Amino acid sequence: MSQSSGLSTIIEALLFVAGEPLAVVKLADLSGHSVADVTAALVSLEQSCAERGIRLLKQLDTATLVTAPHLSGYVEKLIKEELLGDISKAALDTLTIIAYRHPIARVEIDYIRGVNSSFTLRNLMARGLAERIAAPEGRGYLYRPTIEFMKYLGLTSFHELPEYDIVQKELSKGLEEKPEEGHH
């Protein structure tokens, strides 16, 4: 495997997991390669996606993976089903994590669930059950439940969630016991 195809594979994985546009500079930083190498690898990735179900979308200094236009009908069926149908088990799992651990970053949700949650989070936001807020110090986004979520479950407080106080005590005990990383 050539260095360019190896780098394009790395970039594809990073874009897939991110689930949102990433800056070329960020891709260079994450992959340990130069911006020029990443730019060349993006061209290679774009070419290799030409016959697949995904495409590379480059806009200004960012890149992201999108659905191939000729497959939009299939994707539309899936999205309509997710948005208009009953809430899926994946969405319910994700919403439960958000309800008990909010505000929470997507990477933490992904870690807990063991899968990429980008699609599920988009659906929950589209349904108005979760919202994305800026993280402190501009470090990405955090997710939290919405007022609509509270209405959906008929709650007036998170304390009304089953065993909410017990879960919060366990979570805070776990955080106190966890050594802080990067601090001496």
Phi, psi dihedrals of residue 59, rounded to the nearest 5°: -140, 120
Which residues, given as ranges, of the chain have pLDDT below 70? 1-5, 79-85, 154, 172-184
Predicted pLDDT of residue 182: 40
Each residue of 97-109: pLDDT tens digit? 999 999 999 999 9
Predicted pLDDT of residue 38: 96
Predicted pLDDT of residue 160: 81
Domain with CATH 1.10.10.10 in the chain: 3-67, 74-177
Which residues, including other chains, have CB under 8 Å from residue 32's CB and lie 6 or more apart?
Answer: none
CA distance 75 to 85: 15
Predicted pLDDT of residue 178: 47
Predicted pLDDT of residue 77: 76
Which class would CATH give 3-67?
A: mainly alpha
Each residue of 61-108: pLDDT tens digit? 999 888 888 887 887 777 666 655 678 888 889 998 999 999 999 999
CATH architecture, range 74-177: Orthogonal Bundle (1.10)
Question: Which amino acid makes up residue 33?
Answer: H
CA angle 132, 134, 138 (to 5 degrees): 150
CA distance 79 to 77: 6
HEC assignment per residue over 112-152: HHCCCCHHHHHHHHHCCCEEEEECHHHCCEEEEECHHHHHH
CA distance 152 to 94: 15
